[in-house]
Structure 1
Amino acid sequence: MTTHVSTPDSVGTEGLQAERLTPGLLRAWAWHKQGLDGTLAVATSEEVLARAGWARSVGGANPYLTLFARAGIRRDQVDRDVLDLKIHELPTARGCTYVLGREDFAWALSLGKNAEEAFRVLARLGVDRGEITLLEEQILHVLWEADGPMDPKQLRDELGESVRSLGEEGRKKGASTTLPTALGLLQADGRIRRVPVNGRLDQQRYTYTPWGLPHSTLGPEDARAELIRRYLGWTGGATLGQSQWFTGFTVAQSKAALAAAAVEVPVASGGPLWMLPDDVGSLARFTAPEKEQIQLLAGTDSLVLQRRNSADLFAEADKGRKVLNSTLALQADLPDHPILDRGRIIGLWQYDPGKARIAHWLFDGPTPAVTRRIAEVEAWIQEDLGDFRSYSLDSPASRQERLDALDAAGGRG
């Protein structure tokens, strides 16, 4: 893979007047950059994730909706792509797991390595590096000899006393045995990979199989530069703080990577934004669509999560709206999934599997386009997923209060 780093020194921003770059225009611009305007309608899973960015996976259904909303890709195709290793779930930026395309596997995986932190936790529990290194080799031997992928219980049974219990103190620190750390280190090094049980990304249960992914040819500095370039391309522009949150880089690393790849663009309010040079000219020519473009997305969709700026996605008149006595625009992360029109949040939704329906609250009432899209997503959830979980521990019972609140806000309580 060849690293491409833009050289912004000669790029000006004269064609972009700050007063023109209003929150409304920037919302529509991010919407376009995310491919939510129909420009990814015939894309593959890999192409969607390359254009819009890696899909955050926490045992929820976001990766499926990411691909369905942008390209109409159904769950069976996504699961085939996972099986064929066209896309895969890996720990990367900030050590968080994302679903990404195969072109990014090696260099993205290198961003998620944090062996020192893992060893620090175990060292306080009396485990040294040598013990974990030996356990890693034993795990690899067992997996190579196995007839197929093995789950953690099967591995514990096979490895016997090689897996050490760390007692009550270990449980308090999130490490009840030495096995999870060894598995995590092997995965971060590309020597094993996780295989989702039943092939589904929204059920956080895994088996493990040997892999042998070639190491990235990018060093740490080049990998950081590549991530910043990709990130700015996915978002269409971000502040220093937003880019630092997503990447997990230090302030110094973030400033260096941004200065090498991007230009600073003043906007009408907030900002300024760091943008790729090519996007500066594109934004100068960009106009927001006139007709409605409605999407239902997950609260962890890339549009929202990459910049963690949901407050910017509300119209000024909607920033004081509340659910369960919490002001939506003041929360770092949305408590419900958003309904959007050209990048503006116009309502919230949750899925109610007991009644096989989408509970929703539209701030200004429905339009035909909104009603149609809600029905389409509702049918897709019924046919492809059965439920729409936000994260691994989400359940109908845990979201009942929010379902009731949305119904009440929407006048259906």
Structure 2
Amino acid sequence: MADSEIPAAKLRAWWAHRQWLDGAHLDAHPHASPAEVLAATGWARSVGGAAPYLGLYARAGLSREAVDAAVAALEVHELPSARGCTYVLPAADFALGLAAGAAAPEGELAAAAKHLGVTRDEVEKLCLVISQLLTPDEPLQPSAIRTAVGDTARSLGEAGKKRGLTSTLPLALGLLQARGTIRRVAVNGRLDQQRYGYASWDQPAKGSAAELAERYFSWAAPASLRHFRWFSGFTAATAKAAVAPLDLTALPGTDLLLPTELTDEFAEFTPPTRPHYTFLAGIDGLHLLHRELSRLIDPADAVRPTPGSRAGRSFGSEADPQTHVIADRGRIVGLWEYDTVEQEIVHQLFVPADAALREALARTETFVREQLGDARGFSLDSPKSRAPKIAAFRSPH
């Protein structure tokens, strides 16, 4: 970010406000649905962890049951979207999300063709077989699909294993998902698990780069063109062309752009004087929409050691937080993890604990314990793998 004439506290508090993380929207939208929250604050990054649940709970007090019901009703869904990464999207954005992620499986196919001798023809034939196999109502797990397609899916041998691709089946499934002709369905209906089946679908992939830019700046502004490029995966030329039709205003002294319709509101915005603490995943949109961690941390906190990591790694040197985070008015004021043995949140605070922070901690701890059972950061996260972080949190500082 270029040198700014705007106080960091104002920018952070504004981002938190627009992200529904200052508590104001709990009063303004007391019964907001998961789809409404995602439409207003942005798609929720999902990697088989608790991030979507934590984010929707922090923003609108939504229970896991309410989120799972919205998933089951296809009001929201986890789809490969921007950069080919999985996000939880509202139904209104399914077509745009698929269009935004369409290039990723094509790139994977091109790489497989170049390095593994895979042909488009064989993968398209496999796509056809899978499409004829699946139904809308009875998802099939990958093992069942693999058995049913037989030799139509080809092993890619040791060369494939080295590239993380054991057969042509994932290539076909990726293409079909991006085209909206199949969808991946969690076996138990939960977003924080990674056992899936596949069902047929009829969801066109449609949307322009400009539409994605318009959505992005409604969620993330003030944001720079560089921030938008990170989110979208676009080249500089494509990002510039996508932003060109939008009515954006550059904030003085920065490279940050804001929809012109929000400039008066931003100018008049004053950061709240009272704290509002939220316990978020490290990949929450508050961070990940821009992926510039320094925006959200004070210099004194940037030099803190990364919990549970090798000596010399500091919090501020990370591209992404290596733990879950505690935020207050847009500033990261602490780190946390969930201890499944003790069934409690362990944390490291950058600020003194006051009554509001203790209440937010207790409320989130109850939510995780009673509704989630754990707060995994990603699919391969486990109580064992996060033990060093928990030990670091429990040790005297």
Aligned residue number for residue 252 of structure 1? 237
Corresponding residue for residue 103 of structure 1: 92
2:321 is the counterpart of 1:330:
no
Q: 1:161 to 1:348 in 2, by over 3 A?
A: same
Matched, 1:264 2:250: yes
| Alignment partners' CA distance in 1, 2:382 and 2:366 | 19
Number of equivalenced pairs? 383
- The aligned amino acid for 1:309 is E
Q: How big is the shift at 1:341?
A: 1.1
One-letter amino acid matched to 1:320: V
Question: What corresponds to 2:70 in structure 1?
Answer: 81
DSSP-derived class of the 1:198 partner: coil
Q: Which residue of 2 aligns with 1:15?
A: none
In structure 2, give the amino acid aligned to 1:178: T
Q: CA deviation at 1:48?
A: 0.5
Alignment of 1:378 with 2:371, yes or no, is no
What is the one-letter code of the residue matched to 1:263? T
Q: CA-to-partner distance for each residue in 1:277-321, whole Å, 9 max, x for gaps?
A: 112121011011111111111100000111112222112332322
Distance 1:318 1:214 in 2: 46
8 Å CA contact 1:258, 1:274 repeated in 2: no
Cα gap change, 1:122 to 1:322, in 2 (>3 Å): closer
Q: Conserved in 2, the CA contact under 8 Å of 1:299 and 1:335?
A: yes
Give me the CA root mean square deviation: 1.5
TM-score (norm 2): 0.93
Q: 1:138 aligns with which of 109, 129, 133?
A: 129
Percent of matched pairs sharing the same residue: 45
Contact 1:29 1:286 (8 Å CA) reproduced = yes
Aligned partners of 2:35 and 2:90 also within 8 Å: yes
1:348 partner SS:
strand
- CA 1:147 to 1:327, structure 2 compared with 1: closer, same or farther past 3 Å? closer
- Structure 2 residue aligned with 1:340: 327
Residue number among 137, 146, 150 corresponding to 1:156 in the alignment: 146
Question: 1:60-102 CA deviation, whole Å, 9 max, x = no partner?
Answer: 1100011100011100111111010000011111111100000
Assess if the C-alpha contact under 8 Å between 2:279 and 2:360 holds in 1: yes
Q: What's the offset of the Cα at 1:147?
A: 7.0
Distance of 1:62 and 1:327 partners within structure 2: 23
1:169 paired residue number? 159
Specify the SS of the correspondent of 1:347.
strand
Q: 2:186 — aligned with what?
A: 196
The 8 Å contact of residues 236 and 279 in structure 1, kept in 2 or not, is answered as no
8 A Cα contact 2:94 2:205, kept in partner = no
Instruction: For residue 99 of structure 1, give the secondary structure of its aligned residue in structure 2.
Output: strand
Gaps of 5+ in 2: none
Q: Residue by residue, what CA displacement relative to the aligned partner does 1:238-284 show, whole Å, maximum 9, x if unpaired?
A: 122211111111111222223331221124xxx32011111212101
Residue 51 of structure 1 corresponds to which residue in structure 2? 40
Amino acid corresponding to residue 235 of structure 1 in structure 2: A
| 1:195, distance to aligned residue in structure 2 (A) | 0.5
What is the alpha-carbon distance in structure 2 between the residues aligned to residue 402 and residue 175 of structure 1?
31
Matches within 5 A, 1:184-333: 184-216=174-206, 218=207, 223-261=208-246, 262-267=248-253, 271-323=254-306, 324=309, 325=311, 326-333=313-320
- Is residue 365 of structure 2 the alignment partner of residue 388 of structure 1? no
Q: Is the 8 A contact 2:279 2:326 kept in 1?
A: yes
**Aligned residue for 1:22?**
7
Q: Distance in 2 between matches of 1:266 and 1:351?
A: 42
- Structure 2 equivalent of residue 128 of structure 1: 119
Contact 1:29–1:236, Cα closer than 8 Å, also in 2: no
Task: List per-residue Cα deviations over 1:100-135 (Å, max 9, x = no partner).
Answer: 000000122011012431222332322211111111
Partner Cα distance (1:358, 1:264) in 2: 41
The Cα shift of 1:22 comes to 0.8
* Partners of 2:120 and 2:297 in 1: CA distance: 49
C-alpha distance after superposition, 1:22-47 (max 9, x if no partner): 11110000000101122432211011
Contact between 1:351 and 1:357, CA under 8 Å: does it hold in 2? yes
Alignment partners' CA distance in 1, 2:205 and 2:45: 23
**391-400 or 164-173, which moves further after superposition?**
164-173
Separation (CA, whole Å) in 2 of partners of 1:256 and 1:166: 39
Q: Secondary structure at 1:59's aligned position in 2? A: coil
Residues 349-368 of structure 1 correspond to what in structure 2 (within 5 A)? 349-368=336-355
Range 323-332 or range 339-348, more displaced? 323-332
Q: Give TM-score scaled by structure 1 length.
A: 0.90
1:14 maps to which residue?
A: none
* Residues 1:397 and 1:248: Cα distance change in structure 2 (over 3 Å): same
- Distance change >3 Å, CA 214–CA 257, structure 1 → 2: closer
